[in-house]
Every structure is written in structure tokens, then in C-alpha cells.
Structure 1
Amino acid sequence: MAGAPTVSHPELRSLLAAGRARLFDVRSREEAAAGTIPGALNIPVSELESALQMEPAAFQALYSAEKPKLEDENLVFFCQMGKRGFQATQLARGLGYTGYGKVWLLAGK
């Protein structure tokens, strides 16, 4: 995953404390149910493309959260080892999420 944008744990803590990042857990529902980062929205990578293409009202109804905007900064996608987080970041970029910012790879936890 060379070249993948990353965010360090201290930088992520700072962004979260300032309310300047949104976390997306792209693991399966079962994995996320076993434990995730507080405040993270679970959207499995297998459904992320369709989720990011939904109308805002449909996204809100399905995920109980506001749909990210294309220009939002610091959309942080993560999984357990980094592969799905990397895929999610590439997907978001391909859909026009230009301010997405970072991928947080949890492997260094």
C-alpha cells in the first residue's frame, strides 16, 4: 500500500478532538460489532461504493448519519490491517471525494 495517505495516531487524536475528521470502519459488521473506534461509522467496504452514491436522505436513513460531502476533509477509512482501508480510500477518490485526506492503517496499533 505504498503511497497510501496515512494519518498518525497523534494526528488523528488531534483531528478528532478538533472535530475535523470523520471515521469510517470499513470492516464487516461482525468485525465492527466486536469493537471499533468510538464515533466510527461502520460501512463495510463491500457496500461503500453504493453508500457513497446514495442520495443524502437515503444514506441518513440507512446509516443514521449524515452522508459525507465530496469536499469534506479528513475522511478517515480504516480496517484491521490496512488493505480494505486502502481500497476504501481509492474508491472514495474515484467517486470524486477530493478532500478525503487520509487513511489510517491500524496495523501499527
Structure 2
Amino acid sequence: MNRLSSVAAGVLLMSAVSLSQAAQPSGCVEVSVGGYKAPDYNCLSQQMGNNPEGAAAAQKNLEAMNVPVNKRPPNQVGLATPAGTSTRMGNTFGTSVKPQRPATTP
């Protein structure tokens, strides 16, 4: 029985060691050479690229950017808005059909 427990303890110890070696480091190492810091870009790229939620977030961003035409604001579709018409007409907005123009100089 003593031998069986020592074998089981050995198996557990070996599995714990293999699991600890298989786990990837959680942080990246920056090396300083001659006063210049050189980050590990490969490690940073892996951290940025292996986000399982990144694909879902990219899909939501794509859906948010593809707004149907009937849901877009009128100035994005090219329609006249009161603010744009007021700017174009100047002080004659609502009183004349001719927009305000500066006086012509001879």
C-alpha cells in the first residue's frame, strides 16, 4: 500500500510539473540593452491576437458600421437639414427664396 501511494504521489507530482511547464507566461519580458528598452514584439503580438472575444467584438463593430439607409441621419444620406439650410440661406432663412449673398463690388 505504501508503494502504491508513493507511485500515485509521483504521478501527481509529474502531472503538476508538466502542467506548470505547459502554461505560457502571462507577461512579456522587456530587455534593456545599452539604455534602450527592447520589448518582445512576438509575445505582445500573441497577447493581442489570441483574444477569443476579439472575433465577437469585431463582428459587433462591423454590424454597428453597417447601419441601414433608413436608420442613418439625413446629413449622411445627402438630405437637407434645417441647420444646413439655415447656414446656406443666412439671414434670409424663412423670409426669402433667395439665399443671402454679399454685396457685389464694382
Q: TM-score scaled to structure 1, two decimals?
A: 0.19
Name the structure, 1 or 2, with higher relative contact order (CA <8 Å, separation 6+): 1
Larger Rg: 2
Higher helix share: 2
